[in-house]
Amino acid sequence: QVQLVESGGGLVQAGGSLRLSCAASGGTFSSYVMGWFRRAPGKEREFVARISWSGGTTYYSDSVKGRFTISRDNAKNTVNLQMNSLKPEDTAVYYCAARARGEVEYNYWGQGTQVTVSS
């Protein structure tokens, strides 16, 4: 069983930056694909970014490509999301998630951290 705890959310002005972190415990972190998702008020949860178990491959949604960077440190069991050039439409609760190798669905989720971007 993997536990995920996000941190780093907050209030920022448009054009600013935030760095989200997700700390994992209770599993073999390096064996999981890690992802970030978000849910804006009144909207469905949407994919933001994911990173392979080794960190060698990353993938982003079109809405954040070029502005957000996902990274991981397998020695520290953490995955980060650096968010630059933030826009009001990035306002959402951001969730960290883990997907075991060979699985299609993400098996484990954090509780979420709020990101609010003011215009």
DSSP string, the chain: --EEEEE--EEEETT--EEEEEEEESS-GGGEEEEEEEE-TTS-EEEEEEE-TTS--EEE-TTTTTTEEEEEETTTTEEEEEE-S--GGG-EEEEEEEEETT-SS--EE---EEEEEE-
Supply the pLDDT for residue 110.
98
Structure-block tokens of residue 23: 């700390």
In this prediction, residues 62-91 reach a mean pLDDT of 98
pLDDT score of 102 more than 90: no
pLDDT, tens digit, for every residue of 24-63? 999 899 999 999 999 999 999 999 999 999 989 999 999 9
Inform me whether the pLDDT recorded for 8 exceeds 90: yes
